[in-house]
Structure 1
């Protein structure tokens, strides 16, 4: 299996285990994209994101564009010559030009069993809805909101004593494992895709 040239795109602590797993995977990371530094609560100093901190410590080039809609940002992204982009809780929309730039497209690790809980805050929404299970879905990204074909998924139970923090950490670790497995299968040409069901029932819980 030939190693892939990756771009990683993530922002919060949830995405850090996946970045760590990719560092150890044998694939190369051309650059790490994350959201720009922002002021901490109550007017404290501007701080880089958790992903930026970890990427800089590992020696990866870090890019923090406020948007990917500008032509110059899209040109810079395409110039990386990536085989694949991997996103985990990045928080910015990837326009069509960015989605199309990597040779093998873009994949995303989403913290729910799609099509349930598309969009933001899927962990909190699952707990608030009283779901008895959730999980992680690896999907190929398209122009919709978490609507692309499913590449892999794995469920985890939500017990009556499960906290949001515990579930966050469990799903972050699961995302890391599933992303690496999916990339390896994609590189080997053995990864199957399953279209998501249509409809919006998932958005209403």
Structure 2
């Protein structure tokens, strides 16, 4: 894995306050969508975790507060955005920087904000975490740990929760009749 990915954490700098309306805030469904373990030059894919969790993302001075499983994490804006970080996603299902640029329709990586920090993660020790916007109502993130001569990289997706997940399925026609809409 490219050392420069980890170098971003040495250059974390606070920037102006994040305006609450700039990026989606509130409740998000979180999934681990890809990952790998690397020992030396050998990479082994981590099975996709089908479980979901819930995260709350809020604006704080200079960054974002992410609360997952009762643990509050503070991530700070990284100067130069996506241009400041590199990661070696070759041979994996992880997003590449160019994928994130394409999803956001940005021509320059400097225009894509990144928040990050080195953190004490419950059960994993010291980790590095970065969070990037993925779409209008989603983020992607990477959690990197280094247990026992390994590098473990997990890619996460945060999708905005926009209503109850147990909403009954509608056929549509009865709803249209109740609303007075011709079908």
TM-score (norm 2): 0.24
Higher relative contact order (CA 8 A, sep 6+): 2
Max Rg structure: 2
TM-score (norm 1): 0.22
Structure with greater proportional helix content: 1
Structure with greater proportional strand content: 2
